[in-house]
């Protein structure tokens, strides 16, 4: 794993630094000429020690008996939420409130015990750290403890996201594939003409659903990797929403939902990729239509506010609970899983909206009140 390599590299570098520090101390004691002045190598060694300590890509803390910090780099200070200048000379437990870390350092100082394990550190935020403690013999009869900490919080968050993503994709593909398999086996066993048509229609619908999911996954992968080639041109947002609303009119009519396009301020033009901006509006309207009951309304609007162009889709649908709002742009996030299957969709539409808008230098936000509808606004 990368963090193992990083830990090993940091340990080697830190051990070298300690040797340099010991040598620097020896130079101070032994290399002083008769006139009492120090050689230029002493300040050079001190500067080299400090520079190397700062560039190590890990948190490094050096502790001497009886547990006082003698050196700490900026990575460790940031990791543990302490000021380096206030930490040096103070007890480790006073600066870093972790009894487990204090125990390991004490064992290294007293018995030369080396330990390497995961450690959860809780301060302003919770961090997951890979911490190695070991004793270092300075060569002058004294022993110091070296602490090397690798912050794995973000790595573990990404790993969790990856597992969730694989699980969600597997579930989204398994369901239609299972249905197709069952219907195919039924057809192979022989059914009447009416049942055969129904099964074939269902197979076609499930196949289209899988194709849509795969296409959305490919779009999202290109957006997240930054490999999507945007073709910027002058785009009239007013004309754009009129075209998209017109294309969705038949669907809205079948759902008995009123669908309108409103253009404020006499029209708004921005520089953007028209096809991708069309995808933004289509995804927002699809989300609104799926969550608005018969008799409700959905409105797509564009205009200007505070000198910026905006595009928004408002509905009178079921609304979103306040605790769910921060998550609506996450991949496969579903507010109400009990209705998700019947409503359709891939669960990726809003995530794609967010990435496209951000690729245009814009922002997107959602406002909603449970039972009173939602508003999704993109600002450019």
Tens digits of pLDDT across the chain (380 residues): 455 545 555 555 555 555 545 544 554 445 444 444 434 454 565 566 667 667 777 888 989 988 999 888 888 888 888 888 888 899 999 889 888 999 999 998 888 888 888 888 887 778 889 999 999 887 777 788 999 998 888 888 777 777 777 777 777 778 778 888 888 888 888 878 888 888 888 888 888 878 877 877 777 777 777 777 788 999 999 999 999 999 999 999 999 999 999 988 677 899 999 989 999 999 999 999 988 999 999 999 999 988 899 999 999 998 888 888 888 888 777 766 555 554 555 678 888 899 999 999 999 999 998 888 999 999 99
What's the CA gap between 346 and 350, in Å, rounded?
10
Pick the CATH number of 155-228 from 3.40.190.80, 1.10.287.130, 3.90.1150.10, 3.30.70.100: 1.10.287.130
pLDDT at position 46 is: 59
Would you identify the CATH topology of the domain 230-380?
Heat Shock Protein 90 (3.30.565)
- The DSSP bridge partners found for residue 300 are 261, 313
Strand ordering across the sheet containing 126-137:
68-72, 59-64, 143-151, 126-137, 115-122
Which is it for the CA torsion 41, 44, 48, 49, positive or negative? positive
**Torsion from C-alpha of 314, 319, 320, 322, nearest 10 degrees:** 100
- For the domain made up of 2-151, the CATH class stated in words is alpha beta
| Strand 297-305 versus strand 258-263 pairing type | parallel
How far out from the chain centre does Cα 277 lie? 24
Stated as kind and residue range, the H or E segment containing 239 is helix 237-254
Instruction: Using CB atoms within 10 Å of the CB of residue 115, give its burial: 0 to 12 exposed, 13 to 18 middle, 19+ buried.
Output: middle
How far out from the chain centre does Cα 32 lie? 55
Q: Tell me, yes or no, if the two domains 155-228 and 230-380 fold the same way.
A: no
ω into residue 66 within 30 of 0, thus cis? yes
What's the CA gap between 330 and 212, in Å, rounded?
18
DSSP 326: G
Domain ranges of the chain: 2-151, 155-228, 230-380
């Amino acid at each position: 794993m990368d963090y193992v390599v990083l830990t090993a590299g940091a340990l080697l570098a830190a051990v070298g630094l300690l040797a340099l520090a010991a040598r620097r101390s020896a130079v101070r004691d032994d290399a002083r000429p008769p006139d009492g002045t120090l050689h230029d190598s002493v300040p050079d060694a001190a500067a080299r020690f400090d520079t190397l300590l700062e560039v190590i890509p890990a948190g490094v803390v050096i502790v001497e008996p009886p547990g006082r910090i003698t050196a700490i780099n900026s990575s460790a200070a940031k990791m543990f939420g302490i000021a380096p200048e206030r930490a040096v000379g103070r007890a480790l437990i006073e600066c870093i409130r972790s009894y487990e870390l204090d125990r390991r350092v004490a064992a290294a100082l007293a018995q030369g015990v080396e330990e390497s394990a995961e450690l959860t550190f809780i301060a302003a935020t919770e961090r997951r750290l890979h911490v190695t403690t070991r004793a270092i013999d300075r060569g002058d009869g004294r022993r110091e403890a070296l602490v090397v900490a690798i912050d794995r919080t973000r790595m573990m968050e990404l790993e969790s996201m990856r597992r969730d993503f694989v699980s969600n994709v597997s579930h989204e593909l398994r369901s239609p594939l299972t249905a197709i398999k069952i219907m195919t086996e039924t057809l192979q066993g022989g059914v009447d003409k009416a049942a055969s048509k129904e099964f074939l229609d269902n197979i076609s619908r499930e196949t289209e659903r899988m194709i849509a999911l795969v296409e959305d996954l490919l779009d999202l992968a290109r957006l997240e990797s930054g490999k999507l080639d945007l073709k910027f041109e002058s785009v009239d947002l007013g004309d754009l929403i009129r075209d998209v609303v017109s294309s969705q009119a038949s669907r809205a009519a079948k759902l008995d939902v009123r669908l309108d396009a409103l253009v404020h301020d006499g029209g708004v033009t921005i520089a953007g990729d028209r096809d991708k901006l069309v995808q933004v509006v289509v995804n927002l309207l699809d989300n609104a239509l799926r969550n608005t009951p018969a008799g409700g309304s959905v409105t797509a609007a564009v205009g200007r506010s505070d000198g910026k162009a905006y595009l928004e889709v408002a509905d009178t649908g079921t609304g979103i609970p306040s605790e769910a709002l921060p998550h609506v742009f996450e991949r496969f996030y579903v507010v109400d899983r009990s209705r998700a299957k019947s409503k359709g969709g891939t669960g990726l539409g809003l995530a794609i909206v967010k990435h496209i808008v951000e690729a245009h230098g814009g922002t997107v936000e959602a406002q909603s009140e449970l039972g009173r509808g939602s508003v999704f606004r993109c600002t450019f």
